[in-house]
């Protein structure tokens, strides 16, 4: 005959197994209930994002206005200046895009470009573009390509990122250096060093016996802006600026 202790152990194991089996049935029922209760995705759901700009032209800046072409009133949803070699970060608020992309999404872009002689915005250009297909919504980029072609890009990352979906994968700076050379690209960027204000600066310091470390600092600033040794030397060591 089995001992009472052995029978108690067998009985407890049977009870535990029954409880575990019952718990699994309850969890399975809950999962099925939750799965059945999950709502279907809303095809009209929207996601918010920003309007940003990218400019692959180092000799052109643009003024643009972005409008919703599908809206009866063609509501304005963004606008501003696109400076040469803009690489994202100049955001305008805001734009709503469907969480699920669908065909027929269109935006209108009106733009002018600067005249290289008068430095004024000229021309009145207009184009209507399809919003490109995307797997998930992000920010909307207006990308100015060479020859003033315009591309719309929807992305969560900026140019240069491995997942950037634009036609040109590089940043505007890297693309410019590869196609036009570093010197030309550097010359296109707004400068903090003023050639006019700094004319003859080192000549002046030497004349009055001032610390020439200031001259060295000015030379570094000039080279950072222009990368032109001859220009910087002639500017700083030339004839002193007349007030």
Return the CATH number at 55: 2.60.40
In the structure, what pLDDT confidence band is assigned to residue 91 with cuts at 50, 70 and 90? low
Q: What is the C-alpha to C-alpha distance for residues 55 and 173, in angstroms, rounded to an integer? A: 9
Task: Tell me how many domains the chain contains.
Answer: 3
Residues 65 and 128 both lie in one domain:
yes
- pLDDT tier at 178 (50, 70, 90 boundaries)? very high
pLDDT digit string (tens) for 193-226?
A: 888 889 999 999 999 998 898 899 888 888 877 7
Buried b (16+ CB within 10 A) or exposed e, 217-226: ebbebbbebb
Q: What is the pLDDT of residue 9?
A: 39
Residue 234: pLDDT over 70: yes
Please check whether residues 54 and 172 belong to one and the same domain. yes
The tokens for 74 are 């063609």
Distance between CA atoms of 66 and 144, rounded to whole angstroms? 13
Same domain, 84 and 154: yes
Interatomic CA distance for residues 176 and 122, integer angstroms: 24
User: Do residues 161 and 95 share a domain?
Assistant: yes
Q: What is the pLDDT of residue 18?
A: 45
Enclosing domain of residue 235: 191-243
pTM of this prediction? 0.66
Q: Are residues 216 and 143 in the same domain?
A: no
Structure tokens at 127: 């184009």
Q: Among 169, 184, 199, which residue terminates a domain?
A: 184
Bigger pLDDT: 33 vs 231: 231
User: Could you tell me if 70 and 130 lie in one domain?
Assistant: yes
| pLDDT above 60 (res 101) | yes
The closest of 129, 142, 169 to 51, measured between CA atoms, is 142
- 84 and 167 belong to one structural domain: yes
Q: Are residues 80 and 145 in the same domain?
A: yes
Per-residue confidence (pLDDT) for residue 27, from 0 to 100: 43
243 vs 238: CA distance, rounded Å: 15
Q: Could you give the CA distance from residue 20 to residue 59 in angstroms, rounded to a whole number?
A: 73
Query: Are residues 66 and 11 part of one domain?
Result: no
Express each pLDDT in 114-163 by its tens digit: 866 677 788 899 999 999 999 999 999 999 999 879 999 999 998 999 99
Q: What is the pLDDT of residue 88?
A: 67
Same domain, 128 and 66: yes
pLDDT at position 20 over 60:
no
pLDDT of residue 222: 86
Q: Are residues 142 and 115 in the same domain?
A: yes
pLDDT of res. 2: 42
**CA 194, 195, 196: angle at the middle one, nearest 5?**
90
Top pLDDT among 88 and 240 is at 240
Looking at the fold, whether 195 and 171 belong to one and the same domain comes out as: no
CA–centroid distance for 241 within its chain: 41
């Amino acid at each position: 005959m089995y001992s009472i202790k052995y029978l108690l152990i067998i009985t407890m194991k049977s009870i535990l197994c029954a409880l575990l089996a019952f718990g699994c049935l309850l969890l399975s029922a809950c999962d099925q209930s939750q799965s059945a209760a999950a709502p279907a995705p809303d095809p009209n759901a929207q996601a918010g994002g920003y309007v940003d700009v990218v400019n692959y032209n180092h000799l052109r800046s643009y003024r643009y206005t972005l409008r919703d072409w599908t809206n009866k009133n063609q509501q304005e949803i963004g606008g501003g200046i696109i400076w040469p070699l803009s690489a994202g970060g100049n955001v305008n608020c805001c734009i709503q895009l469907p969480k699920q992309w669908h065909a027929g999404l269109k935006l209108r872009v009106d733009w002018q470009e600067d005249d290289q002689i008068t430095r004024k915005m000229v021309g009145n250009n207009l184009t209507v573009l399809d919003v490109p297909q995307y797997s998930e919504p992000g920010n909307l980029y207006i990308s100015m390509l060479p020859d003033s072609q315009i591309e719309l890009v929807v992305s969560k990352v900026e140019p240069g990122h491995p997942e950037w979906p634009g036609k040109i994968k590089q940043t505007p700076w890297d693309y410019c250096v590869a196609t036009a050379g570093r010197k030309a690209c550097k010359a296109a960027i707004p400068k903090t060093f003023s050639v006019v204000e700094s004319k003859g600066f080192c000549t002046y310091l030497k004349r009055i016996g001032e610390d020439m470390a200031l001259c060295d600092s000015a030379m570094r600033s000039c080279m950072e802006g222009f990368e032109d040794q001859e220009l910087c030397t002639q500017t700083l060591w030339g004839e002193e600026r007349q007030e």
